[in-house]
Amino acid sequence: MIDIHSHILPGLDDGAASMEESIAMARCAVTGGIKQMVATPHVKSRTYPSRELILSVLAKLQKELKKNDIPLVVMPGGEYNLEPELPGRLARGEVLTINDTGRYLLVELPPSSVPDYTATVLKELQVEGVTPVIAHPERNYVFMSDYSRLYELVADGSLVQLTAGSLTGYYYTEVTAAARAFLEQGWVHFIASDAHNRSGQLLQFEIAAKEMLQLFGDGERRRLLVSNPQRALRGESIENISRLKVSGE
């Protein structure tokens, strides 16, 4: 399986605090069946790690993984705060897309609002040739209470990443309900751990994979945990099924 959202890089955000923690996370990921992982530290305009810093810390982690013989491939990325300045920074080459292919960008909205500029910024990113991947919308209060707000953005070309723990009940009931509803509507393109440490969220990834199999079958499990993530890593196109005509329309 492939995890496109993790905070495994040490010392850059509220994820792994040390290289030891990063290595412990990598061991947990491998035990849970993850073979490839995208390192996506939080990036905010005022306190951001630059793409150069992310790449240099990633290189150190890759060296340690090799030294410790841990079979986890870690790739570059970032979890970017959705801000009006983001398209401009992308145009200036300052942003790290998923695996640096220039095709998919993980973006995070605030937890309790959908700012007025959201649709505009997401569209501007697409005009620059990048498809936004909205990180865990099921944990945002606005999307959670009005599912149609997310549909509008997906119908407009953005993709969706669900956090594994949202599906398994790791967060609260409304989050699980929203996660399942988004899956049933076909609005979800990836499931990822959003792991910040060695415990909790990484374990949920493995449980979510089993739940996906039971609830939605092996085809859907593979699509969200293996094939779509693989396509993102390669910069290949991903079907946005919400765009398909719904029967009766």
Q: How far is the CB of 244 from Fe ion (least distance, A)?
A: 29
Cβ atoms within 10 Å of 29's Cβ, excluding its own: 26
Q: Where are the alpha helices (DSSP H) in 117-227?
A: 118-127, 141-145, 147-155, 164-168, 173-185, 201-222
| Site pattern 181..200 for Fe ion (x: CB under 5 A) | -------------x------
Which is closer to Fe ion, CB of 39 or CB of 125? 39
Q: How far is the CB of 245 from Fe ion (least distance, A)?
A: 33
Instruction: Evaluate whether 190 touches 162 at the Cβ level (below 8 Å).
Output: yes
Q: Give the total of residues touching Fe ion (CB under 5 A).
A: 2
Which is closer to Fe ion, CB of 111 or CB of 129? 111
Which is closer to Fe ion, CB of 40 or CB of 118? 40
| Site pattern 63..82 for Fe ion (x: CB under 5 A) | ----------------x---
Report which DSSP code applies to 40: -
Which is closer to Fe ion, CB of 67 or CB of 170? 170
User: Which residues, 6+ apart, have CB-to-CB distance to 51 below 8 Å?
Assistant: 76, 78, 94, 95, 96
Q: How far is the CB of 154 from Fe ion (least distance, A)?
A: 19
Q: How far is the CB of 240 from Fe ion (least distance, A)?
A: 22
Query: How far is the C-alpha of 212 from the C-alpha of 202, rounded, in Å?
Result: 16
138 binds Fe ion (CB under 5 A): no
Which is closer to Fe ion, CB of 91 or CB of 144? 144
C-alpha distances (whole Å) from 227 to each of 2, 78, 105, 158, 247 are: 9, 20, 17, 18, 26
Instruction: Map tokens 């959670």 to a residue.
Output: 144
User: Which residues contact Fe ion by CB under 5 A?
Assistant: 79, 194
